[in-house]
Structure 1
């Protein structure tokens, strides 16, 4: 129950601008530096938030996910830059005492794989949709090592973590992550926080977006916690809101 209550309090942490200090009564902020925050949202799940300067939207807070079981962990989306990625790797290794089994960028934009070279230096394997690898090469971005087309299953500790492609939306390669041990879905930029606008549509398929998120809804009926690529952590209502948002003209 305390983690569900914490979800209501963590909202200001994940979406807050860089200069703002999170309120100490949240009880879920477990790491903070100038450029990186880590917030616990479930017993074995943490949201990492770093920042990206954009011409269109200014300074943007970007979420990723860490899931842990036993002494092993998987990271969804790197922090936005290599320095923050080094911080994250150090925290997972030294504070959580975990081996990072994999990093999984959820699409080819910088807020998902900007820190990938740091993971490569630590010999942490990276996995992504095959389209992500193609688009990363085309855009001169860091390139994930291993590709998949539909589903990826990775073993951590004594359980599994999953990544899957359900269709186009924010980009043509966007995937989601699912950690059933905590009933957590990492929607990445495919999923919007409540009351968000449509955001960056430069590489989007807005016509396909609602149907894609509907398939995600059907695929993970047990999900209790949903983490968007930007903004506040929530529950399954984020999926319904995203569908509604992109049904609008």
Structure 2
């Protein structure tokens, strides 16, 4: 499913989970950002708000046209533009938006309206029979980045993972490069049965995306001549 100009796509993963992908221009290139649409007996829920309000409006319109249901809520996984850019459009559409207090604080500091910080006390959402588990694994791409785990489908989503076609670490202006590999290892330990891993950008895949992410970070660290010996010792 896509809108007329192809800037918003919905890709079916299974009968209850879709990836929403929206595109923006950066340095003359079209850059995709992924989020989730989850269908439950309690309604439709979004994970992340696209790059901007125009795209968020298009996404909500596309969902309404194809599902004939209103989006009941949304989760923001960190404060940067690819996650939170369309938050105003969601709020204007009367879609409740929630996250952690850290994400809310950093979102407000970035100039956006803050999501409700309800996930601190209720990180696991029970939407009828559908479970949506949010988790803060540690600093990585940003200080506040969270993951979303759908245990019934073994799907893990997060913007600190790299797609297999990504051979660099992307934009790292706010990243904690030393903590990042430990954060990924934490997720590998917590979700060893993840069957599908959906990154914030580009194509999704299986559990191997987690080790690939560590490999990308190792390559970056090596290029910066940083010492990985202790990290290697810790995970062997």
TM-score by length of 1: 0.81
Residue 233 of structure 1, aligned match among 171, 185, 204:
204
Residue 173 of structure 2, aligned match among 190, 202, 223:
202
Count of residue pairs brought into register by the alignment: 218
Counterparts of 1:107-118 in structure 2 under 5 Å?
A: 107-118=78-89
Conserved 8 A contact 1:78-1:112: yes
Conserved 8 A contact 1:71-1:99: no
Structure 1's unaligned 5+ residue stretches are 1-29
SS of aligned partner of 1:31: coil
TM-score by length of 2: 0.85
What is the Cα deviation at residue 129 of structure 1? 2.3
Conserved 8 A contact 2:23-2:31: yes
Residue 90 of structure 2, aligned match among 119, 123, 127:
119
| Structure whose CA Rg is larger | 2
Provide the aligned C-alpha RMSD in A: 1.9
Counterparts of 1:32-51 in structure 2 under 5 Å?
A: 32-34=3-5, 35-51=7-23
CA separation in 2, counterparts of 1:240 and 1:152?
26
Counterparts of 1:206-221 in structure 2 under 5 Å?
A: 206-221=177-192
Structure 2's unaligned 5+ residue stretches are 223-236
What is the Cα deviation at residue 162 of structure 1? 1.3
* Structure with more contact order per residue of length (Cα contacts < 8 Å, sep ≥ 6): 1
SS of aligned partner of 2:148: strand
What is the Cα deviation at residue 151 of structure 1? 6.2
Counterparts of 1:1-249 in structure 2 under 5 Å?
A: 30-34=1-5, 35-55=7-27, 58-70=29-41, 72-149=43-120, 152-187=123-158, 189-196=159-166, 197-248=168-219, 249=222
